[in-house]
Structure 1
Amino acid sequence: METGVDNTERKRTERLLDTQKQSLEMIVSGAPLTDVLTYLARVVEQLAEGRAVASILLLDEHGRLRNGASPSLPDDYLKAIDGLKADANVGTCSRAAALRTVVITPDIAADPKWHAIKHLPLGLGFQAAWSMPIMARDGSVLGTFGTYFRERREPETLERQAVEILSRTAALTIERTRAEERLKQSEERLRAIFEASRDGILIEDEERIVYVNKSYTHLFGYSDPEELIGRHVSVVISPEDMERLLEFGRSRARGELPASVYEFKGKSQDGTLIDVEASVSTSTVAGRAYITTMVRDIAERKQAQAALHQAQEELERRVTERTVELANTNQTLQAEIRERKQAEEARRHLLRQLVTAQEDERRRISRELHDQMGQHIAAIVLLVNSLTEVSQSDTATQIRVKQLEEVTSQLSQEVDTLAWELRPTALDDLGLNAALGNYVQKWSMRCGVRVDFHSMGLGDQRLPQPIETAVYRIAQEALTNILKYAHATFVGLILARRGDSLSVIVEDNGGGFDVETLLALPAGGRKMGLLGMEERTTLVGGTFHLESTIGAGTSIFVRIPLAHNENGGSCLE
């Protein structure tokens, strides 16, 4: 015979199965989440036969518990616990949510976890409580299924089993409801995007229109989307493009993916043909292929293309007409350019010859001053010395002879200096490095300006004569300008060979000047000296660069390619 206990268990089991079935039917029928959870809570209360009160709390995205269904708890109590954060040190439901496990409180008054809020349940006559977390399939906590008792005790085995079963049903209900809400929100966002789109959008299923937005409706001359819903897609396609587009759609449905962007002529409600561009994509839902087509009216673009084509033809015609004129003009310009190039080359050639002749003349005069004038001065010195011996007894004559000695010595020095400045013999005999070092030393002593001269990478190696001459004259002119205009107390001169190029750097700490202002002035003075240095640099194929700031001195940078000059390039030969 069946005992009373077995009979009670069987009835509870049957009741739980009926509850699951009823709740699933409620879910399928679209009942609100609150109604389903309330039904589950009341089942627990009925199974307890009035000895317990059930409460289902939902965990929000901020980790706080909100009322889901508590049909037998007063509003004041629900307001007091609303927003309670999941916390392992507070209450029962809050602890269950935080610890993700069942929490049992057999005596609320004595439990320190309830100390801060125990007056709330005790005020309603609840002495004990227990709670089970409602777990999602991914292991996250959805909420808690709690039960309050009016006497101090723990849940019975059947009570725990019942809540465990109903918690799974509650989890299923909550997840389904939230998924439906997310789907609904997604659909609403997508619909809002579709409706806000200026492009027409059509969705078809097996060549039947299931959705069109307002832009598509208006583009094809319809007043309401419902006029197109359910109709065959051929209603918006011109006869000439019908077969091609239908085959495109069928190929897409078969997964063959033809071109996703193309143009076609659409057909409006009144039969007018419309030039449109279509962008097509396919999505599969529940095994069905849905084709989404976005269309854009390209009538204006077609007109613009036609106008552009016409304009291009007109342009080509005009270009053809102008080509002959331009060809004639081009020939004239080329002839002028050739003449200018020839004139410039002739000028440079003449300048090279002039510079070469000038240096040759300097060399000749320097040697004549050094050799012939030096011999004459030496003869005068000998005569003066002989006069000194003869006139030792004549005081007046001795004075005159002494004066003659001084004038002769000064004349000798000036002749040497003049010959040295015209063309130092060291430049021809010893090369640029020695000649420039000697010149800098004498210039510094004569002018009272300190000069630091550094030579790198040259040693005793000789450079082509035109380069040595050009660099020597550039340095000489730079020092002359510094003495005249810069009022400098220090000059740095660097001569450096690096690979196939020679670099010359001259820097001073003088007053400086504004380069643009100087170059804008008429030729003369400092500008003439700068132009001369630049011209000499150009004649040996080099580059000349000048930097200066008022109050911060001046720097000159010269770079001369050696390989080009050593192979017979644009030297002054």
Structure 2
Amino acid sequence: MDDMWKVIIADDEMETHHVTRMVLRNYSFEGKKLCFLSAYSGEETLALLHRHPDTAILLLDVVMEKDSAGLDVVRYIRDELNNQLIQIILRTGHSGYAPENTVIAEYGINDYKSKIDLTSQKLFTTITTLLRAYCLSYRYNQLNQTLAGELKKRLLAEIELQKARDHLEQRVEERTCELEAANLLLKQEIAARTRAEEELRKSDEMTRSLLNATSDIAFLMSPDGLILSINETAAKRLDTDIGECSKETLDRFFPPRTIRSLQMKVAQVIRSGHPARFEEMLEDGFFDVGIFPVFGKNQRIEKLAVYAHDITDAKQAAVRIHTLTHDLINAQENERERISRDLHDRVAQDLSTSRIICETLFDSHAGIPEEILSKASRLSRMLQKTIRNIRDIAYDLRPPILDQLGLAKAVFRYCEEFSETEGVPIDFHSIGVDNLNMGLDMEINLYRLIQEALNNIRKHAEATRVRINMVASFPHLLLRITDNGKGFDVEQHRTAQVNRKRMGLRSMEERVALLNGNLDIQSRPGAGTRILIEVPFSGKKNPRPDGNPPAAPLWSS
């Protein structure tokens, strides 16, 4: 409320406005005077009410621009504006238009006065009563508004509380579901771990059984080099107990050189995902070592299985076989040399003498029948042919040119003779071989290898062209023999040789092995054959008898 009580005088008679203002000009209530607002019709009254909604009293004439103007204003105030605070005094000079009982019963007015009966004193009393009622109503309305606000706040609080309760219940329900799911997952994980532990136990038992199923050294290790499990053979070999070596590193059991070798091979297996096999020498012998990757469910290498087979006896046997083979071939070559010498120096000489005697047998005799002379001549020719054959055999057994002029010229001569005999052209090239000090063993073995290769070409290849290259490139001597024959399946041929107990390629392999070299035979049906032999040599050269520097000859037949 402002500092004055607002009172609207709604009457179409100017005199009524003047009298009311005059009578109440000095009136005050609770220290506040009255502020009069005048309206002369129903429409003006409503306009004032819109501009002054805090009006306390409305002195309203019933009949103004029309008979029901005042009652229409009352209805609009109470129903449309919903203003229940304003105190309305309905004043009328025509009581017949609006009977008091009917108006009070049907309209929301606070008092009903006749202009004739409304004296100054009654007006004072009425205004006081209405202002007191207005104050009570105003305070009651304020209290109601406050209560309504509080109720609204409480309602909003209850709504928020209900939302919070619903949200809390939802969260509790969600959390309960999450806990139930987590509990189920935990149970599943526990069951899975139990199964995994059982599988691991069975796997460990199977691993121990597999490790102990072999008499070789066997152990499992992690990719980072920790020993996980070993078998009984390994425990005895490493002088330890099976249970004590778990989680131990390799350096506890092996020397640094062996550890470096194992680490390199382990890295190779992890990088490639494929097993690795190699030979390793320990203090007490030689071992054939195999490292095998063990994959997990995610296809990652989880473990490495290491097997080591003792091949010391096999190595020693191989050395003995190598030595015996070397001695056997040397004895064979020595025997060939002796036979060649005997054939050349004895048998060939004796046959030459016999031929001379046969040709001069009848020189001092006359009258020898022509038939006998013809037979003697035929015998002489047969002796000559036999002498040539014996000399050829002696040359094949041990060509003297090999000792006299060296390997390159001996091979060149042999290629010429082979070409003339078999009608197969041979291109022979040698570089850096002349005057090379390779020893008699290497020379005769290389010569025999070329002989064996050409002999196989003659028997099986049906070739029309052969090429032989012999190159000394320190620290190796390279021998390549190529033909354009019909070729063959190398592996199938090796298998057939084993089944038929033939030598063939095996004898060539043994000769190359005696020279500590490598033999590679490449062939396939219809594509010819290429033989590549690589043997080590010292690189020293024989001094030339003429004192000139050695040259790299090139012969071709």
TM-score (norm 2): 0.44
